[in-house]
Amino acid sequence: MWLARTRSCGFNTTRHSLSMSDDPVPRLKQQLAQLLVERVAGWSQTYAADLLGTDQPRVSDLRRGRLDRISLEQLIRLLGRVGGSIELKVSWSSRHSYLYAHPKKPW
């Protein structure tokens, strides 16, 4: 994780950025891609592509784990086309407690 301090319009602001290991998107993409690959297992790439509404090279990318060519949004749409539904759950970690907003104290 990196931390950068900037000065803007007379106010000090702090920006936090997640490191790659903290970024949940690649893990989520991998999980969704695995579910999609399992769902279309046994189908030809051409048949799967037709059903998914994409092209054969994209199905090949999925099966080979080349997820840099496929967005999270696209994975969600593809899962929906084969009957999948997505539920998103957000859990708060105490590990990043510096991000919590502190309530103002009454005067």
Residue-wise pLDDT for 62-99, tens only, equals 999 999 999 999 999 999 999 999 898 888 777 766 66
Global pTM reads 0.67
* CA-to-CA separations, 32 to 4, 61, 89, 102, in angstroms, rounded: 33, 14, 14, 35
Task: Identify the bridge partners of residue 4 per DSSP, sorted by sequence position.
Answer: 15
State how far the alpha carbon of 28 is from the alpha carbons of 42, 46, 51, 80, in Å: 24, 25, 23, 16
Second CATH level (architecture) for the domain 20-84: Orthogonal Bundle (1.10)
Mean pLDDT in residue range 41-66: 96
